[in-house]
Amino acid sequence: MNLKKYRELFPISQKGCFLNHAATAPVSYATINSMKVLCDQMQEPLGKHFYESLGILEHTRRLLAELLSANAGEIAFTPNTSTALSLIALAIDWKPGDRILVPRNEFPSNRYIWQNLKSKGVKCEFFDLDHPLSEVLESLDLSSVKLISISLVSYLSGQRHDINAFGAFCRKHDILSCVDAIQAVGTIPVDVHQADIDFLAGGAQKWLLGPMGCGYLYIRKDLIPKLHVPLVGWTSVRYPENFDLMQLDFSPEATRFEPGLLNIASIGGFKNSLEELKSIGWKFIYQRIQNHSIFLREGIKQISGITLKYPHEKYLSGITSFDLPKHIHPKKFQASLEKEGITVTMRNSTVRVSPHFYNTQEELLQFLYTIDKNFQKKRLFLPKEKKEKLQTDHWVLINGVTGTLGKEIALSFAQKGYNILGIGRNQDILKTLKNKIEKNYSLQFEFLTADLKNSCEVSLLIEKLKQKSQRYDALINCSGIAYAGTVSSIDTSALQDLIHLNTIIPAEFMRQFMQTLKSDKAIGILNIISPSGRFSLPLLGPYGATHAALWTLGESLQYELTKESQHVTTFVSPPMHSPMQKTIGRQLLRYFSLSGKFNYSHAEAIAKQAVDAFLAKKSLVLTLKMRIMLLLNLFFPQWIKSKIRKKWKREEK
């Protein structure tokens, strides 16, 4: 086998050490070219190449059916795996009281889709996989269970299940079986008929080295006529080109779940990828991937301090994951790999490695050598615990401690020897944070929870704070909610929630802190706000206004404290890696013509900067770019208005 020849098909192999195929894999030159040809055809009327496109579609269906050991009529194309799973959820005839079982650590799509059936009276329940799947399932209460949905291979740990045993278990108990196979197909043989499963969903963009926008759905043949068809179109029927038929007559095949014209460019690219992999040889590919996993696992075991996520050897997959030692800084570790041109996935302190057949043993050795070498470097270590500051009488009150930034703020204060009282919503995060701070720093972490939208609960929360014996050296406000929408479109309820949570609640904590909660040696208040508070785009008007109000309130309080020892720090946070910030970013891209990169900062770095600025008694912290924008908004509002007009993609009515 001429591996060099196949490596040359993939541009990524010439640009570094790519070991991240469990994320979104790169496609080959030939696949890209095949898609370009199909896109070029779109310059002509569809009628000129319609049947050629149908031929590509059906050829791809046959290739995929062959790979899964299915019949072509049992395969439907979808835009992605999530859509395939959603179609399954909507197609089943659910009854109130039906139960669905799903492993707890599934990829979100395989949780949310089933949870969304709550309105039908269906309950989605989670279970832990601390033993082999078949053993765990035998121990569960199966009364009223209608479906069990699993990932054949865990997206995080790489744990692989016995699909045949899973299918047999479900068939024995008359339970529908659903498999998310996107992390498995292309790495191991999958035979849906032998496994006797009911549904399987997957996509092209990972181990099958295909393009995004192309997923697939397998439905066992005898189930097809028993299912609802949730999305119906002209291609859902038996004779889609006979427009004169008035009666709805569904296709007897899985194509009834394809309601219209499909993304032929993506499917054509998928066809090319499947043909390439088939020509290389599936057995060869499976063996290469298995050998890579064995090699990585053996190498990782030799490195002190690393713990494999899935230590069992029986069912290996293409994913090898391990946890970093506690003294290694995850972000610094990732940066050290990127510096060497190595691409893997980092999720908190878990490293996920996923090489494909064309990766070489030399690349795996490079990865192992790099992590072993870097473990010896002190610059990767987390800061040492400062034992001399343990069990102090100094407390910090943090509003919003369970948020992405709030957690890091708490850890930054803990590193400086402060006990924490955190206010947040997520009890699991609060308990995890409590355990981490008390274990790593031997400090105290207490927490209170409340629905801050509820005035009664807020009043009760404040009374609890007053009744506590400790008083606080600092109040940190880093809570709130995001909203991407215009002033003219926001409804009254949403606006009230924004003002209440982003402005009124922080202001009330400020008032209570100054009146009753501050200690004799209090430093002051740190408010962390969005830059949209003083120079927001139209889409962030309501959201920005609430931050502008808090900014102004903080300034006013600062003036009141002129003769006091306390101060107020307003920290204008740059965009950071967080679900809330990235949701806003997506909305901006939808409505604005923006160019360049979004330079998101890490929450840990922002937290350290904010805490240091607060302890240094700075009044206002914002970047040079933000200061310039602030001045432009103040002195040149017409110029800003003209710039927004050019970038604003809002449709005129």
pLDDT at 48: 78
pLDDT of 584 strictly over 70 = no
Q: What is the pLDDT of residue 603?
A: 85
Q: Around 77, how many Cα atoms within 13 Å sit in the side-chain half-sphere? A: 27
Residue 547, φ and ψ in degrees, nearest 5: -75, -35
Domains and CATH numbers, the chain: 3-23+281-380 (3.90.1150.10), 29-240+250-280 (3.40.640.10), 389-647 (3.40.50.720)
What percent of the chain has a predicted confidence (pLDDT) above 90? 64
CB 72 within 8 A of CB 60: no
Q: Is 586 exposed, middle or buried (0-12, 13-18, 19+ CB in 10 A)?
A: exposed
**Lowest mean pLDDT, pick from 151-165, 266-280, 364-378:** 364-378
Q: In what order do the strands lie in the sheet with 75-78?
A: 75-78, 215-219, 199-203, 176-180, 145-151, 99-103, 123-127
Confidence of residue 458 (pLDDT cuts 50, 70, 90): very high
468-477 pLDDT tens trace:
999 999 999 9
Q: pLDDT digit string (tens) for 175-211?
A: 999 999 999 999 999 999 999 999 999 999 999 999 9
Q: Are 579 and 532 in contact (CB under 8 A)?
A: no
Q: Which two tokens stand for residue 554?
A: 């903080």
For the chain, how big is the Rg over CA atoms in Å?
28
Provide the 3-class DSSP secondary structure of residue 253: coil
Residue-level pLDDT at 384: 47
Q: To the nearest whole number, what is the mean pLDDT of the chain?
A: 89
| pLDDT of 214 strictly over 50 | yes
β-pair partners for 572? 529
3 state DSSP class of 464: helix
Residue 383: per-residue pLDDT = 47
- Contacts of residue 93, Cβ cutoff 8 Å, sequence gap at least 6: 226, 227, 228
* Mean local confidence (pLDDT), 25-51: 89
Q: Residue 474 contacts by C-beta under 8 Å, 6 or more apart in sequence?
A: 396, 397, 413, 418, 522, 523, 524, 525, 526, 614
Confidence band for 578, pLDDT divided at 50, 70 and 90:
low
